[in-house]
Amino acid sequence: MSSDDALIEIVDVTKAFGAGERRFLALGGVNATIRKGEFFTLLGPSGCGKTTLLRLIAGFELPSSGEIRLDGQEIGHLPPFRRPVNTVFQNYALFPHMTVAQNIAFGLEMLGKPKAEIAATVERMLTLVKMTELAGRRTDQLSGGQQQRVALARALAPQPKLLLLDEPLSALDLKLRKEMQVELKRIQHETGITFIFVTHDQEEALTMSDRIAVMSRGQILQIGTPREIYAHPTNRFVADFIGETNFLRAAVKGGRAVLGPGVELPLAAGTADGEVTLAIRPEHIRLVPEGAAGALSATVGDATYFGTDSHVHLTLADGTGIVARQQTDPEGTQGPQAGAVLGVTFPPSAVQVLED
């Protein structure tokens, strides 16, 4: 049974390529539920299986096992044209000899829609992507950003329930890329269509998504809102892949993590004695005078000044290297100097206990 707001359910999906010794498991048992109207991002390094998962949802590949459901119905074995799903490819795949309007109309003509309806939809799509003035221009005479808009309009014209976008902004330069990020969000919001967006760029994922699935080696490691993923990564890969993180090993005794003499943090109830890895973001580390209550002693290595903040590299007594990000004060006071010995503290709420 699917919950009411679920559009896509991916259930225990695996995908292997090749056979025998050449067999390669590109997806090893993936589970995810994508909700209606959501901007959902698949984020992970090259080769982790993002495109493979997208191609399974589109129907360009069949799963080796598992189910893909749309509105509660199994679609994993339907051909692409039988699915209410469209894809925007990285290279746009426009028809170069056709005009912008003809490109947008193409899919609707294939579906045999009446002429008047096609004309009205093309108008609407042109307005949506702000391309009305270029409706009669051939698509090989457009800039990259304009081609991107046409590709979006063409994919949205048949009103799919789901739009898949495979690294659609990667061919654009940085400025245009930022502009199209804002545009994509606006268009998704205005149409209400569910987007599944693939990127390996963590900042792009954080700024654009309602929820993110972080992938590594054919697995989804964590699904959550950008804030959940950044503030509460559950494992080392996610903590490391998204933003900068310090990792600390600590002994666990009686439900508390012991970081050093007199420096203890409470852990979730039921944490067994042993050792844990803790993650803490550089911006949450506080520098205090050496010997302050609850502080670990640390030696300053070097500090890099960035204007809005400084990154201070420190070494703890046990040799662990950490980095602390310190906001610049309004007076522009000189920050910590190399060789200085300081205390560092970690607010307990900012410390994440990672799964090993």
Q: Which residues partner with 250 through β-bridges? A: 276
Q: Check: CB of residue 89 under 8 Å from CB of residue 54.
A: no
CA distances (Å), origin 72, targets 11, 66, 76, 195, 287? 12, 14, 12, 18, 53
CA distance 153 to 129: 7
Backbone CA torsion sign across 174, 176, 177, 178: positive
Nearest residue (CB) to ligand ATP, 18 versus 79: 18
| Distant-in-sequence, close-in-space partners of 210: CB < 8 Å, separation ≥ 6 | 38, 39, 40, 225
Residue position matching structure tokens 């799509």: 125
CB 217, min distance to ligand ATP, A? 9
CB 200, min distance to ligand ATP, A? 5
CB 199, min distance to ligand ATP, A? 9
Backbone CA torsion sign across 143, 144, 146, 150: positive
Nearest residue (CB) to ligand ATP, 55 versus 281: 55
3-class SS of residue 157: coil
CB 250, min distance to ligand ATP, A? 33
CA distance 70 to 254: 47
Nearest residue (CB) to ligand ATP, 26 versus 100: 26
Nearest residue (CB) to ligand ATP, 44 versus 76: 44
Backbone CA torsion sign across 272, 273, 275, 281: positive
Nearest residue (CB) to ligand ATP, 216 versus 326: 216
Phi, psi of 142 (to 5 degrees): -115, 155
In the complex, which residues of this chain contact ligand ATP (CB under 6 A)? 17-18, 24, 26, 44, 46-52, 200
* C-alpha of 227 from chain center: 11
Nearest residue (CB) to ligand ATP, 42 versus 239: 42
CB 227, min distance to ligand ATP, A? 24
CB 30, min distance to ligand ATP, A? 11
| Distant-in-sequence, close-in-space partners of 334: CB < 8 Å, separation ≥ 6 | none
Nearest residue (CB) to ligand ATP, 47 versus 348: 47
Nearest residue (CB) to ligand ATP, 26 versus 257: 26
CB 215, min distance to ligand ATP, A? 7
CB 55, min distance to ligand ATP, A? 8
Q: CB 298: neighbour CB atoms within 10 A?
A: 25
CB 63, min distance to ligand ATP, A? 13
Q: Check: CB of residue 196 under 8 Å from CB of residue 165.
A: yes
| Distant-in-sequence, close-in-space partners of 241: CB < 8 Å, separation ≥ 6 | 43, 44, 45, 202, 214, 216
Nearest residue (CB) to ligand ATP, 46 versus 337: 46
